[in-house]
Amino acid sequence: MSSAREQLLVVLAEKSFCLGQFKLSSGGTSDYYIDCRLTTLDAKGALLTGQAVLDEIRKQGWHAQAIGGLTLGADPIVVATSVISAQQGTPVHGFLVRKAEKTHGTGQRIEGFRGKPARVVIVDDVCTTGASTIQAIEAARGFGFEISGVLCLVEREEAEGRANVEKASNPARFVALFTANDVRAAHVKQNTSSPVFAVSAKCDQCDRPAVTNLPGNRCEVHRP
């Protein structure tokens, strides 16, 4: 039987990866987009996410008391991992980092687990520039947590994201379950196993004749 990580890659490739022209939160543009929430908020995807993240935490020997990250991308990862850990008798509690402190009530930025001192793992869904991951690292340390490790589901391997996160997380290690190329390759494999060739169609991205219609009408230049 394949591992939770291997199964998670299949779901990410099926549900979260799409080709096209997209503007990223970093301000850049890309010919693909990965929306991990379509996987982490899917019933099966959430189960696989929680198990794969928990497996990696154990593999790294981080021995964390809690897992958390910046809302919104980290939210389903945190909940899934925490629930799976409790079911397996080794609870890893969850916390979320607000993008800004509340202006009412207790005015706190860290929600959920607040035990200090505590060793914690920071998680995120996608790392491009690393800005959201770094915000969570800084907020967690400012609160008094000790960072055991930092993990993202998918690393885009661009915009110096890894270097930025590693600088902020040092001496804690930063790991990614997958790279964007891993997910792209799995997506292409899923959609080219039984190719369907377009007839008398133009490429969705230019005016060249299409040679395939999976995942859309694509010419030889733009085919996955």
Structural domains in the chain (count): 2
Here the CATH number for the domain that contains residue 104 is 3.40.50.2020
Same domain, 108 and 218: no
Shared domain for 118 and 176, answered yes or no, is: yes
pLDDT digits (tens, 9 = 90+) for 67-82: 999 999 999 999 999 9
Between residues 197 and 5, the one the model is more confident about: 5
Looking at the predicted structure, is the pLDDT value of residue 105 above 70? no
Average pLDDT, the chain: 91
Structure confidence at residue 152 (pLDDT):
98
Please provide the size of the chain in residues. Answer: 224
Same domain, 138 and 73: yes
Does 211 lie in the same domain as 152?
no
Residues 119 and 57 in one domain: yes
Distances (CA, A) of 48 to 41, 91, 92, 109, 185: 11, 17, 16, 28, 19
For residues 78 and 69, the answer to whether their CB atoms sit within 8 Å is yes
Please report the sign of the dihedral spanned by the C-alpha atoms of residue 45, residue 216, residue 178, residue 114. negative
Residue 136, CB-side half-sphere exposure with 13 Å CA sphere: 31
pLDDT bracket for residue 197 (50, 70, 90): very low
Tokens of 1: 């039987």
Compute the average pLDDT of residues 115-140.
Answer: 96
Q: Do 104 and 212 fall within a single domain?
A: no
Taking the C-alpha atoms of 6, 9, 10 and 12 in order, what is their torsion angle to the nearest 10 degrees? 160
d(CA 118, CA 78): 16
* Predicted confidence (pLDDT) per residue in 202-215, tens digit: 888 887 777 777 66
The domain in which residue 152 lies consists of: 4-192
Tell how strand 93-97 and strand 17-23 pair up: unpaired
- How far is residue 124's CA from residue 110's CA, in Å, rounded to a whole number? 15
Indicate if 181 and 208 belong to the same structural domain.
Answer: no
> Residue 59 corresponds to which amino acid?
K
Which of 221, 218, 164 lies closest to 18 in space, CA to CA?
218
Cβ neighbour number for residue 7 with a 10 Å cutoff: 17
Q: Kindly report, residue by residue over 147-179, the tens digit of the pLDDT.
A: 999 999 999 998 899 999 999 999 999 999 999
